[in-house]
Structure 1
């Protein structure tokens, strides 16, 4: 599962489903002490913002985002990088990763990382509340303006045929649930709780996230039945019309509970760098915006997320980031 790339693309050190099921044990990992070089490419430019020129005071700043490598983190960290460098004149915005959750939280607490933008709450509360982390960080308000989703899903053409609930799956036309990594925490829940709890005559087949998505593409193109674990935000929700199955017995919980997506920064950032602090605090994205941004990055190739970001901005989306830019300029006294 670990993939080292010269750019922060869609490789990941652990699956989202695995990491979101972890407790505090990972919080004892390595403390990152210095701002090492990032992995994100700085090639390409965003469109003209119409919000004024770059801030000269940002030219010598060195910002380092930590990344876990999940798709929404790749999307947001690279979008932030492009806007901060192009529109606000930051000299260096690096992305370090993929890293696991323990080092990410400890890195922000220790000052080696400026921010980590993919905190899932309350899922990651054990990391945040660690004695080595909590006194040294600040959790910013949610940047994701929507509700996360997680659970078994089917294409909408199956929902139209009456597959509305997990309880309907015995008549789905398939006896297979196409799963993801066997280490993912949701897989035992499906196998040990959902399948027997709903008396499903189905088999869970584990593989990988990439293999699941490839099978989804194949079945969806042929309008054939398929049942998968799905989650949002993720580009699959933009590319495919999916229906998240109802769970009347609540057997998917707590994984199906909605989470807040937030950014964690070092506690000193507000005083040490109010411009960066204001920018990060102003970030807001809807589910549709995140999903479409992720899809553009996927189209551009996992080794070139900057190209995908610029393509997304060029499609009339620069207006999305203009309030972030204005917040930074206001903090710099150039509103």
Structure 2
């Protein structure tokens, strides 16, 4: 009788396990910031998930706050984010309702940069050359981690230059115009960026350590995602994209390719690696 009871319990547990595996949701919704470092990560992960049998929806965002709100509400299931510094405030505010899935890249650095021909090398030299820079530092979108850090730098170094809010496109146009004329310009920029490849740029030294060190990228999800989607979690955790590859993808986009085509080319040239990522079987 005892043996029969144990056998029944074992069968019940096996049945529950099989049911759980079959019950895993086959549609995954990824959130992505519409920025050149995060879009390739999302595109590559989407491809790997699709090849592993999932239907993938991608929802774009332009502000961290809105993206994290969508994640905590469950409107999206996963979001690629730099949680150590760039989006740390949003992660800290919501982390009790979220979970870190896996690292997906590393090396993001963002700060104030100038063309190589500019004869200063440190942020604390900006004030004495403010006129040469037109009294301004050309920034990007308000609300980004880079602009938050740049604003902190303006205060920490008591800079007399105005930090201009705007857009990445406007900053890029100002940079190109200045370089074409061999003029001095200070911009907020980041690595990985095709701009660091195309233009002769150097990051200004930061002796006060205002800008954070190179940062990691992580997939983060709504709490419970890994338990509810164990196979999808393993697929996502297999993906890792080196920073130089992200930069190369964006370089291809800046040369005229669409992001989808640039990601597809990267996937094709890394077919063997992709196959190893996808070689994960459902339990």
TM-score by length of 2: 0.74
Q: Quick one: distance in 2 between partners of 1:212 and 1:294? A: 16
- SS of 1:84's equivalent in the other structure is helix
**Per-residue Cα deviation, 1:104-154 (whole angstroms, up to 9, x for no partner):** 334334443220012432443443344xx43443213422232x2122111
* Aligned match for 1:121, one of 84, 105, 108: 84
What residue is the counterpart of 1:144 in the other structure?
105
Measured after TM superposition, the shift of residue 206 of structure 1 is 4.8
The answer for unaligned runs of 5 or more in structure 1 is 1-56
What residue is the counterpart of 1:295 in the other structure?
251
**Per-residue Cα deviation, 1:62-98 (whole angstroms, up to 9, x for no partner):** 111012322222221122223332x3343x2111122
Measured after TM superposition, the shift of residue 203 of structure 1 is 5.5
Kindly tell me the number of residue pairs found equivalent between the two proteins: 254
**Per-residue Cα deviation, 1:254-273 (whole angstroms, up to 9, x for no partner):** x4444322110233333332
Query: Do the aligned partners of residues 108 and 209 (structure 1) sit closer, same or farther apart at CA in structure 2, a change above 3 Å counting?
Result: closer
Q: For the Cα contact (< 8 Å) 1:300–1:308, is it kept in 2?
A: no
What residue is the counterpart of 1:262 in the other structure?
218
Pairing 1:1-335 to 2, within 5 Å after superposition: 61-85=26-50, 87-90=51-54, 92-98=55-61, 100-130=63-93, 133-146=94-107, 148-158=108-118, 162-169=119-126, 170=128, 174-176=132-134, 177-181=136-140, 183=142, 184-186=147-149, 188-196=151-159, 204-250=163-209, 253=210, 255-300=211-256, 304-314=258-268, 316-319=269-272, 321-322=273-274, 325-332=275-282
Query: Do the aligned partners of residues 95 and 259 (structure 1) sit closer, same or farther apart at CA in structure 2, a change above 3 Å counting?
Result: same
Q: For the Cα contact (< 8 Å) 2:83–2:91, is it kept in 1?
A: no
Q: For the Cα contact (< 8 Å) 2:48–2:277, is it kept in 1?
A: no
What residue is the counterpart of 2:12 in the other structure?
none
Q: Quick one: distance in 2 between partners of 1:134 and 1:189? A: 24
Query: Do the aligned partners of residues 128 and 182 (structure 1) sit closer, same or farther apart at CA in structure 2, a change above 3 Å counting?
Result: closer
The structure whose residues are more often helix, as a share, is 2
Measured after TM superposition, the shift of residue 290 of structure 1 is 1.4
Q: Which runs of 4+ in 1 moved over 6 A?
A: none
TM-score by length of 1: 0.64
Q: Quick one: distance in 2 between partners of 1:103 and 1:249? A: 31
Q: For the Cα contact (< 8 Å) 2:101–2:226, is it kept in 1?
A: no
The structure whose residues are more often strand, as a share, is 2
RMSD across aligned C-alpha pairs, in angstroms? 3.2
